[in-house]
Structure 1
Amino acid sequence: MAISWFNQFYKYIADTELSPWLEVLPAQLAHWEKAQLHGDFAKWRKLISKLPATKVTHLELKNAVEMGTSDDIDDYTQRQITGLLQQFKPWRKGPFNVHGIHIDTEWRSDWKWQRVLPHLAPLAGKTVLDVGCGSGYHLWRMRGEQAKTVIGIDPSQLFLMQFQAIKHFNPDPNVHLLPIGVEDLIPLKAFDTVFSMGVLYHRRSPIDFLTQLKSQLRAGGQLVLETLVVEGDENTVLMAGDRYAQMRNVWFLPSTAALTVWLSRLGFKNIKVVDVAATTTDEQRRTDWMDSLSLADFLDPKDPTKTIEGYPAPIRAILTAEL
């Protein structure tokens, strides 16, 4: 089944500026699919095949991600869809609303989008890439801004399955998620906007990562970068120890000034810090759709300005830059 998802994408890009991707991508994705023999992949594919066909009378992507209303289906079908979607827990990025079923995700990703949106170059008619897109919530919001082609990449099999479960109710041929990492990308230099939100601090080599993002942009394109930061001057970079807020794979947390220097050294222009905000336990929290530990469990109970390891509590910044 997954191969058919990818075949649709191959046909979609065959006559576009993204066609050079076809030299490597089919082999990469075939290799990825063969590697998914462990875990829940087969079970999740079956669950997606059980999602009922429904008539979607309402589609909202501009102000939220809503597909259908409760009036489109009967109570039995709504319970059926709810039960199937709950088997894809944990749902981390959202929220989504499917036929009146509110998928209340761990993150209020809509809040992040509202911080990002005022600073975007117009997306209408554009080709955009979201690196580390998770389950694809922001892909739908980008499409809601009339982007022509929306592509997300993220190697997680669960995120792909969550995306496909949502796309079942809106099979938009212009929105795609590919289960690959940024290191698998060839330099396409074809995207008008490249987003990377919540990824930089997970990379062992942040300069290499930023270089990879740059190699996807066309001349004059916009980079939208959101990441954890710390307060400080252009020389301030925190390298976390074994864990940061209980996350093992956190490496470098620069100040916004240091990050600006990094981007400038790589040749980006018109670099702007457009938003800085502390992450709150209202924005990232435990829900019925993500019922394991969340931010409140990762902060010092006596001093919420610090993580339980003693580092500064999460602060996120959004930067934009042009090529």
Structure 2
Amino acid sequence: MPAFDWREHFSPFIDSLNHSDQAAWAEVLTAQLIRRFEDNPHGDMARWHAALQALPSDLPAKVELNSSAVTVTSEQPLSEQDAENLERGLRGLMPWRKGPFNFFGTHVDTEWRSDWKWDRVSPHLADLKGRTILDVGCGSGYHCWRMAGAGARQVVGIDPGLLFMFQFLAVKGYLGDVLVDLLPIRMEDLPDNLEHFDTTFSMGVLYHRRSPIDHLLDLKGTLRRGGELVLETLVVDGPEGFSLMPEDRYGQMRNVWFLPSCPTLIRWLERAGFRNARVVDVSDTTTEEQRQTDWMRYNSLADFLDPNDPTKTIEGYPGPKRATIIAEKP
């Protein structure tokens, strides 16, 4: 089997940058991808590529992007061999964390019901039709597909996890030439002050940042003037100025730094230069929304909560509550 050809997947996006006002980004991105795939390739990449290649590819398929599960279907039934290859390929891309997905009738029940988050957020968004969108920390790209289904002109997801990238390509392989891409890079790998996107999403990222204000400033730099930020993050109850900083771990996660109150988060956004910042949703995260499944067999939320008081984490902090805030760049 030939090795994974990163240029085949990313050259169209890089070419589009070169034909726009982002030639400098194209040059930087190309160097980053060479380092990622050629200079220091991940040890599991060949296995993930083999799993991707196992998925049926010789039958007409269509993709539904506006249902709860991003769904790949075909009027032609799978042969016994295709069905076996499909199961092997999808299982080879485990664990599946963000979704759900459905491939030819096989339901991939992901750890997160990401469709629930989309249903909470999407009614409050500006019309996405024709917009250029950045999704920071996009995971497997589930929300990227929902954004495309809502009419976005172009969607760019970024997430350094290479397994997420292969899960994303499992869907994209059935869509052909679409302006939806997942770049395996970090937020800090983007050029400063791109001012390229109409809407930027950052969902489930802020609390992992040691410097949340710097993250907000970086997000603002990705947006055109008048662009919209959609920010979703862990919060706690409290007055303006209050923020929880865990002593060590939060829900067994070491990389959780700040959980602000909603008024504090609004103030952070205002200090970062955003306007019209408003909270559009606050929801407790439950073990129905995040849980262990047959497609994600590791510990999940139920294992990170106090067994005697599920309103608290195992460390005794308030249980996970997430707020979505929308703001604009002046």
TM over 0.5: yes
Please report how far the alpha carbon of residue 57 of structure 1 lies from its aligned counterpart in structure 2 after TM superposition.
4.3
SS of the counterpart of 1:276?
strand
Deviation readout 1:51-72 (Å, 9 max, x if unpaired): 2314344421122311114754
Equivalent residue in structure 2 for 1:94, among 93, 99, 107: 99
What are structure 1's unaligned runs of at least 5 residues? none
Please report how far the alpha carbon of residue 39 of structure 1 lies from its aligned counterpart in structure 2 after TM superposition.
2.4
Deviation readout 1:35-83 (Å, 9 max, x if unpaired): 5434211221222233231434442112231111475422431231121
Aligned identity (percent) is 55
Comparing 95-104 with 13-22, greater Cα deviation is found at: 13-22
Equivalent residue in structure 2 for 1:48, among 52, 55, 78: 52
Deviation readout 1:197-247 (Å, 9 max, x if unpaired): 000011111111111100000000000000000111111111112211011
Equivalent residue in structure 1 for 2:321, among 315, 318, 323: 315
1:68-79 aligned at under 5 Å gives the runs 68-69=73-74, 71-79=76-84
Q: Is the 8 A contact 1:78 1:101 kept in 2?
A: no
Please report how far the alpha carbon of residue 137 of structure 1 lies from its aligned counterpart in structure 2 after TM superposition.
0.4
In structure 1, what residue type is equivalent to 2:81?
Answer: Y
Match of 2:244 in 1: 238
Deviation readout 1:255-297 (Å, 9 max, x if unpaired): 1110100000111011110000000000000100001110011
Query: Are 1:205 and 2:211 an aligned pair?
Result: yes
Match of 1:247 in 2: 253
In structure 2, what residue type is equivalent to 1:267?
Answer: G
User: How far apart, CA to CA, are the structure 2 residues paired with 1:70 and 1:233?
Assistant: 56
In structure 1, what residue type is equivalent to 2:102?
Answer: N
Q: Is the 8 A contact 2:62 2:175 kept in 1?
A: no
- Per the normalisation by structure 1, the TM-score is 0.96
Q: Is the 8 A contact 1:17 1:190 kept in 2?
A: no
1:252-263 aligned at under 5 Å gives the runs 252-263=258-269
User: How far apart, CA to CA, are the structure 2 residues paired with 1:295 and 1:122?
Assistant: 33
SS of the counterpart of 1:188?
coil
Please report how far the alpha carbon of residue 13 of structure 1 lies from its aligned counterpart in structure 2 after TM superposition.
2.8
Query: Are 1:114 and 2:119 an aligned pair?
Result: yes
SS of the counterpart of 1:24?
helix
Query: Are 1:61 and 2:65 an aligned pair?
Result: yes
Please report how far the alpha carbon of residue 175 of structure 1 lies from its aligned counterpart in structure 2 after TM superposition.
0.5
Please report how far the alpha carbon of residue 31 of structure 1 lies from its aligned counterpart in structure 2 after TM superposition.
1.1
Match of 1:274 in 2: 280
User: How far apart, CA to CA, are the structure 1 residues paired with 2:171 and 2:39?
Assistant: 24
1:17-56 aligned at under 5 Å gives the runs 17-56=21-60
1:105-254 aligned at under 5 Å gives the runs 105-186=110-191, 187-254=193-260
User: How far apart, CA to CA, are the structure 2 residues paired with 1:205 and 1:21?
Assistant: 24
Q: Is the 8 A contact 1:152 1:177 kept in 2?
A: yes
Q: Is the 8 A contact 1:56 1:67 kept in 2?
A: no
User: How far apart, CA to CA, are the structure 2 residues paired with 1:196 and 1:321?
Assistant: 12
SS of the counterpart of 1:196?
strand
- Per the normalisation by structure 2, the TM-score is 0.94
What are structure 2's unaligned runs of at least 5 residues? none
In structure 1, what residue type is equivalent to 2:262?
Answer: T
SS of the counterpart of 2:264?
helix
Q: Is the 8 A contact 1:57 1:72 kept in 2?
A: no
Q: Is the 8 A contact 1:69 1:100 kept in 2?
A: no
Runs of 4+ in 1 over 6 A off after TM superposition: none
